[in-house]
Structure formats: structure tokens, C-alpha cells
Amino acid sequence: MPISSTYIIGVDIGGTNLVVGAMPADGSREIGVHTLPTLAKLGADGVIDRICAMIETTIATTIRETGATRAQFAGVGIGSPGPLDREKGLVIITPNLGWTNFPLRDRVSDQVGLAASLDNDANCATLAEWWLGAAKGGRNVVGFTLGTGIGGGLILDGKLYHGASDVAGEIGHMTIDSTGRRCGCGNYGCLEAYASGPAIAERAREALAGGEPSLLNELCGGDLTKLTAAIVYRASKDGDALASEVVRETARFLGTGVANMLNVFNPDVVVLAGGVAQAGDSLFVPLRAEVKKRAFKPAVDACRIVPGALGGSAGMVGAVAAFLAEHPVA
């Protein structure tokens, strides 16, 4: 138990859950990781109290497990849905949490008495996969985070890229069908409108409307409002023809989005994180084929397309990495 190590706390703020944990600066382990419901209805002050209590729990666990002292904690990295103002540490707006121009970074920093950093949740997940996960060794990396929405992060020439006003990487809101499906953002034909979790479930419901028999009916107990992307992936693995077609369509939509990133950005790694990482070859094989059809050969040849490796702790790990990028420690 080296008492000279420096520890950083990572905080991943989601619309549904908060994940908090600690890591030594070398990323060698995760300590005191725990998850609690966000309870956005508590309001910003209530959520801040929950986050700070979780940070104290993680610090206590880390001290107990490693023999560290409180002085060995360098700070707190926070990953949050955006858009953000990183320099000022503000959350500009998060529909799911109901925050507007909220000074998240400084509120947490003041309450726990530690330095803090703030970055976008999808940027953090991408950074985590690059630091310790499936995108390790890449120099130009595109991360897709697939869940309720589709987010993204860009590592450029070995550095997280934020753009002119910290909103770079909104890959889910790239138009792939300019006259296509309405997206929650107000635009038409965004990738997210086809390949987010809810969009996959919606397309499955549409496919079922013709009355074709499918395992999906029983897997959601006859209540199609309970259909999820995870259920669609499971039915596809069990050989259900209708679910398999929905998965293959998903692969084509995602493949179009990935191909766009290859042609524009020419990355060496594309990492797809989130629930989709569990879909396996039934998704990734047709997805890679779609990319090969649509993108330039030198871009295809230069790039590996991989599922995320870090699962649910990616956001927390990436928040630690983002803190370290802003506050290098010895």
C-alpha cells in the first residue's frame, strides 16, 4: 500500500444514475465505486448533496483500503450531460436534470474542499476507452456512446477535442437522412432518431405492426411499451427473424454514421460504447460491412471499429482522466 500515491475521484452524472469512484493517477485500479439513483426531482441542491456524500463515502473507502490520507486526493473529475462551459465549470442546460447555467464544478469543489474539473459525459466515456479500454493506443479516436441518446467524443492527435464552444462531438445529431425521422433535438434524420435505444425499440414496434409472429411479443410480456433495444438484441441472438432485421437495419444506420466519421475524420479507432457493446457480432459484423461499403478504402484500412471495454464505469474512469488532463499530477 504505497502511501505516496495520488488519488482522483471520478463522478459520472446521468439522468438516471450517479456513479462515483476513485482511482490512483496511474489508472491501475478502481476503488469505492458505487451507484445511486440521481433523483433529479430533488433539484440541483439535493443532487449536489447526494454527489458530495458519495464522494465522501468513496474517500473513506479508499483511505480504508489503501491507507491513503485525505491529502493524497488531488481532486474530483466530473462528467455531466451538456452543453457545458468548461472554463467556467457551468452546465448550460440539461433537459433531464432541469439545470440551467448551473455552476456544477465549483459547487462540488467548494463543498468537498478539493479541486474539480467538468467535462461532457460522452467525452469522458471516450477518454476512458482511450486511456484504459478498447481504444488504447489510438491517436485519433471517435467514440460513440449509445443509450437513451447518442453522444460522442473526439480524441485528436492524442488530445480530447472540445471545439469552439465545448459542444464538439454531437455525433448523434449528424443528419444521415435529410428528410427522415424527426429527432428529439428538432432536426430531421439525425443518427440518434434511428439508432438510440428508444429509436431501436420504436422501429421494432413498427415492424411488429404487420402482425408477423416474433419472440419480441412474449419477451416484453405482451406489452410493447416495455420493448427495449436490449430485448431486441436478445431476440435476435435467439434467432428471431424480425428482431434480426431490426438489428441489421440498426447496423446499417450506425454504419452510415461511422462511415461519415471515417471519411471526415480518418480515425485509427472508432469505439462504440453503451448497451450496444453487448450486441456482439450480430451488430458489429453487418456494421463493419456497411462502413466498408460507404467509406474510402484508405480510411477503412486505417481504422478498427470496436465495442467499448469498460462498461458502466467508463464515465467515472473518463472523468478521472479528464481531471488528470487538466491538472497533471506528479
Residue 179 as a binder of a second copy (CB under 8 A): the answer is yes
Q: Choose, by CB under 8 A, the member of 207, 299, 325, 329 that binds a second copy.
A: 299
> Which residues in the 301-320 window bind a second copy by CB under 8 A?
301-303
Can you give the three-state secondary structure of 299-310, one letter per residue?
A: HHHCCEEEECCC
d(CA 207, CA 220): 15
Stretch that binds a second copy, among 62-70, 173-181, 203-211, 311-319 (CB under 8 A): 173-181
- Cβ-based nearer residue to a second copy, 220 or 247: 247
Closest approach of a second copy to the CB of residue 132, in Å: 21
- Cβ-based nearer residue to a second copy, 34 or 293: 293
Q: Choose, by CB under 8 A, the member of 15, 83, 184, 198 that binds a second copy.
A: 83
- Cβ-based nearer residue to a second copy, 6 or 263: 263
The grid cell for 131 is: 486511456
CB 255 within 8 A of CB 176: no
Closest approach of a second copy to the CB of residue 9, in Å: 28
Residue 42 as a binder of a second copy (CB under 8 A): the answer is no
Residue 325 as a binder of a second copy (CB under 8 A): the answer is no
CB 272 within 8 A of CB 279: no
Q: Choose, by CB under 8 A, the member of 48, 115, 168, 224 that binds a second copy.
A: 168
Residue 157 as a binder of a second copy (CB under 8 A): the answer is yes
One-letter amino acid of 304:
R
Residue 159 as a binder of a second copy (CB under 8 A): the answer is yes
Q: Choose, by CB under 8 A, the member of 68, 229, 235, 259 that binds a second copy.
A: 259
Residue 261: CB partners within 8 Å, gap ≥ 6? Answer: 142, 171, 267, 270
Q: Choose, by CB under 8 A, the member of 44, 115, 161, 278 that binds a second copy.
A: 161
- Cβ-based nearer residue to a second copy, 161 or 217: 161
Closest approach of a second copy to the CB of residue 176, in Å: 5
Q: How many CA atoms lie within 13 A of 98 on its CB side?
A: 11
> Which residues in the 136-155 window bind a second copy by CB under 8 A?
139-140, 152, 154
Residue 53: CB partners within 8 Å, gap ≥ 6? Answer: none
Site size toward a second copy, by CB under 8 A: 53
d(CA 326, CA 262): 28
Q: Choose, by CB under 8 A, the member of 115, 167, 224, 329 that binds a second copy.
A: 167
Residue 175 as a binder of a second copy (CB under 8 A): the answer is yes
Q: How far is CA 161 from CA 153, 156, 168, 177, 309, in A?
A: 8, 6, 7, 26, 21
DSSP state of 241: H
Residue 50: CB partners within 8 Å, gap ≥ 6? Answer: 18, 36, 38, 39, 42
CB 218 within 8 A of CB 231: no
198: part of which helix (H) or strand (E)?
helix 197-208
Closest approach of a second copy to the CB of residue 138, in Å: 8
Q: In what order do the strands lie in the sheet with 115-120?
A: 31-37, 17-24, 7-13, 73-80, 115-120
Q: Choose, by CB under 8 A, the member of 14, 89, 149, 169 that binds a second copy.
A: 169
Q: How far is CA 174 from CA 48, 89, 284, in A?
A: 33, 26, 20
Task: Count CB-CB contacts under 10 A for residue 51.
Answer: 22
Residue 67 as a binder of a second copy (CB under 8 A): the answer is no
Q: Choose, by CB under 8 A, the member of 86, 105, 107, 162 that binds a second copy.
A: 162
Residues found near a second copy in the complex (CB under 8 A): 83, 92, 139-140, 152, 154, 156-157, 159, 161-171, 173-179, 185-189, 252-253, 256, 259-261, 263-268, 293-296, 298-299, 301-303
